[in-house]
Amino acid sequence: MASICEGRVAVVTGAGRGIGRGHALELARQGARVVVNDLGGDVHGANPDSAAAKEVVEEIVAAGGEAVASGHDVSTADGAAGLVRLALDTFGELHAVVNNAGILRDRTILNMTEDEWDSVLAVHLRGTFLVTREAGRHWRERSKAGAPVDARVINTSSVSGLFGNTGQSNYGAAKAGIAGFTIIASLELARYGITVNAVSPSARTRMITPRGQERMAAREDFDPFAPDNIAPLVTWLAGPDSKDVTGRVFNVHGGRISVLEGWREGPVIDKGARWEPSELAVVMPHLVAKAAANVSLR
């Protein structure tokens, strides 16, 4: 079987462990040269350590692939610029960016601090924006110069943002924002030969709570919660065969892939004139009663 990413260069953020590590290894197995980005540290983003990214690079190289480690902080403009520059300086080109980096600082809304809110959105949402912007500017320059561009951005959303999860208003808001960002970016970047999609993975990682870890315990046969299960779709999205797919968010769990269809307009009432607030007291309960309940995967 041919390697579906042969000759391509991919950047994967948050690739030192878990789902991101799986992405980096599979991309390399499929022929891509990979920039393994990970600031390191714990699940809260503290105590940076480059060891994890270097270990993934060593594993790729030992298997005959090409990779370089990056410790750039994607939540900063300088870090995002340095990351893209490293890919170009090392491999001479760039074809795909996988925005996977993230941290957790769970807390209910009433107990959450501003720093717990800001830090989570900085890594997930701002990091996705900054790296996409930096790579997108490079591809735009190539396109305007008449060079061929067949580029990919793959973002990471979550069921927490798409369907809701108590105690994760910061994380969920960031992940919902990433889904919206994905759709808008796909519209803006299409003219330059860039597709933008997102995955919403369900897998066992160190970001899962102890209770969740127990529920997702490994199995002897096929392990549906193994973090490596997300990589095949991400790798396909990073390759040339996905050129006609853009602006989509995919839910991925084990061997199951679904296309998430987003907001749809439900029941409607139109007076044809401006409402009086008192009129809505009668109208709104009936309108809401006709609507489907919020979707939940729980």
Structure tokens at 261: 């269809």
Contact 257, 251 (CB under 8 A): yes
Q: Which of 70, 119, 157, 171 is catalytic?
A: 171
3-state secondary structure of 96: strand
| Residue 171: active-site member | yes
Task: Please state, in angstroms and as integers, the Cα–Cα distance from residue 284 to each residue in 69, 264, 280, 287, following that order.
Answer: 55, 18, 5, 5
Alpha-carbon distance 46 to 294, whole Å? 35
Please give the Cα distance from 234 to 9 (Å, whole number): 14
Number of neighbours of residue 150 by Cβ within 10 angstroms: 15
158 part of the active site: yes
175 catalytic? Reply is yes
Radius of gyration of the chain (CA): 21
Q: How many CA atoms lie within 13 A of 174 on its CB side?
A: 28
Q: Exactly one of 70, 75, 175, 186 is catalytic; which is it?
A: 175
b/e 83-92 (16+ beta carbons within 10 angstroms → b): bbebbeebbe
Burial of 226 (0-12, 13-18, 19+ CB in 10 A): middle
70, 119, 157, 158: which one is catalytic?
158
User: Mind telling me the catalytic residues?
Assistant: 158, 171, 175
